[in-house]
Structure 1
């Protein structure tokens, strides 16, 4: 791999395996030696039947879970032997998460929810960070709603707050797990378009888990997971 290629690489899996109940009679391997690369500006769908290992893979890539064997490189840094403090730091700075359920904090305003990853990392947000969060809310169409609480927003608006929160750290990689699963088709299209815009604007790689074929067909690449193996990895269009 050339130095230029390496600088463009956001995430690489090398022989990655994940088992549960290791060492017990009920031990089961869910991911079977996966190799995969994501580079800046990649916009990929991760598809597969229920139980194929998609959420497990996302949790491992997102440093929420450790692989049993193999290696995960994030921004060219090996993570397998990384201590918890460094994993938490890297997760907070390099990765944005959007889930099917938005997980907003009801007691906080929209603006405070977007600022949450920065507040966790550095404490009191700076003026520049507050301006960045306000700008993101404007970009996701929520200008003027900064002081509303989540229960004063529609489902689609709440998910857009979650998208802004995921992007406020300017992550290198955005992981989205069925992010439009609870939305009507109009809101789903709008949220998908937001991912597209940020992918192009910030060069943020996107890995999107979806059951919606209309959504996966709009991605640039589709990675098919079957029983814990990557069966295909195809560029579209």
Structure 2
């Protein structure tokens, strides 16, 4: 593991219980200890119902743990109010989902710029240059002016990756990012995650059901029944 100053994410004894103190109480996550360092590419796997989505929501600051503490870039987050949580999430985390969640009526470029618009309003020339550079990196420089609903599903997912990276996040979270794509397109999209992980040095956590994609990550964390049962390096990863 990298030195502490390279640590992007740390979960210490994190648990999540829904409806606590009632007959409907459900322990979804228990005693989760997890660290991610700058530059790590990690797959999160596990069967349906194992708690992967809940864990990703906690890491993405979309929900709060019931127990333990989650540190993002060394900052404890459990006690943050909604406004502080939103600011930290927008600054430090990028998201890519199975369904790209682009705004159909907006141009490809404006979709990529959206996180920067949320952060500080109307984008400036530097923002636009950064977004166009990312679109070029994902092979879509010629599509910047097209509406998001005028391009293919694989292209839309590439736009979503550019959008997630436009803020230069310390942590990139991807929830089944290739689950809606054919095998060939999935491979090309996943290659972008590996490339940007190397080039930007951001920590990347990918939730996937595809063992071939998980094997291409340097590390795999397996979740079963709300607990981490395996956290190991993939020696065969490229």
Q: Give the TM interval when normalised to the shorter protein.
A: over 0.9
Matched residue SS, 2:105: coil
Matched residue SS, 1:144: helix
Q: Write out per-residue CA displacement over residues 175-214 of structure 1, whole angstroms, 9 at most, x where no aligned residue.
A: 0000000001111111101111110011011000000000
Deviation at 1:102, TM superposition (A): 0.2
- Structure 2 partner of 1:225: 223
- Structure 2 partner of 1:99: 97
User: What does 1:23-172 correspond to in 2, within 5 Å?
Assistant: 23-172=21-170
Q: Does 1:215 align with 2:195?
A: no
| Structure 2 unpaired stretches of 5+ | none
Matched residue SS, 1:179: coil
Distance, in Å, in 1 between the alignment partners of 2:8 and 2:215 is 23
User: Contact 2:9 / 2:73 at 8 angstroms: preserved in 1?
Assistant: yes
Matched residue SS, 1:80: coil
Quote the RMSD (CA, aligned, Å). Answer: 1.0
Deviation at 1:33, TM superposition (A): 1.1
Distance, in Å, in 2 between the alignment partners of 1:164 and 1:116 is 11
Distance, in Å, in 1 between the alignment partners of 2:75 and 2:109 is 32
User: What does 1:10-29 correspond to in 2, within 5 Å?
Assistant: 10-29=8-27
Runs ≥4 in structure 1, deviation > 4 angstroms?
none
TM-score by structure 1 length?
0.98
Distance, in Å, in 2 between the alignment partners of 1:112 and 1:24 is 46
Deviation at 1:23, TM superposition (A): 2.1
Distance, in Å, in 1 between the alignment partners of 2:194 and 2:234 is 15
Distance, in Å, in 1 between the alignment partners of 2:89 and 2:47 is 27
Distance, in Å, in 1 between the alignment partners of 2:127 and 2:22 is 48
User: Contact 2:105 / 2:149 at 8 angstroms: preserved in 1?
Assistant: no
* Number of positions where the alignment pairs a residue of Structure 1 with one of Structure 2: 235
- Structure 1 partner of 2:198: 200
TM-score by structure 2 length?
0.97
| Structure 1 unpaired stretches of 5+ | none
